[in-house]
Amino acid sequence: MRTTILLSSLGLALLAAPAVRADSLVLGGGCFWCLDATYKLKTGVTAVTCGYAGGATENPTYAQIGRGDSGHAEVVKIDYDPAQITLAELLGFFWKVHNPTQVGGQGNDHGSQYRSIILYADAAQKAAAEQARAQAAASFTQPLTTEIVPLKHFWPAEEYHQDYFAKNPQAGYCVYVIKPKVDKLKKDLAPRP
């Protein structure tokens, strides 16, 4: 009986707690470690998960992605609180964290797995992505290569890819590629006096 009362009280407490609405967005713009680290700078982002999407291979591995024959891109699933940050703001930030004009990769990362891609979950996300791409195009001298495609499935990457920059700040890629990008974005995001 005591267990029943405790469980009932716990259930009532859970029901009474205010619901936090969280949406998600799946993006690819080069190595997912970079997107993971940069999107964690944004207020309102509640979680970032590295993964794979945009291809046909079921439950792909990093080795399959690295060969470039799975059709998948390295992507991140960004969970966010729309009361703190909008979909438009997240998409606007996307154009700042990678080069959407580069064909076949990002920087020194070459291959279709590093392509610029937005994977939409519904018609509203598709419309927002298309509008964001059209607005961003005016800021670039070359055409944007960003694909906008339906999200069929998101496959989380292996655990060692999650929070890679935070866990491996002294790794070469982190020191020479991710840290300078994060530092620049921190300056851009800092409030102006």
Residue 6's contacts (CB-CB under 8 Å, 6 or more residues apart) are none
Q: Is 31 a catalytic residue?
A: yes
CA-wise closest residue to 109 among 153, 146, 64, 73: 73
Q: Are 63 and 11 in contact (CB under 8 A)?
A: no
Q: Which residue has the tokens 């001298």?
A: 141
DSSP state at residue 8: H
Q: How many Å from the N-terminal Cα to the C-terminal Cα in the chain? A: 61
Q: What angle do CA 121, 40, 192 make, to 5 degrees?
A: 115
By annotation, the residues acting in catalysis are 31
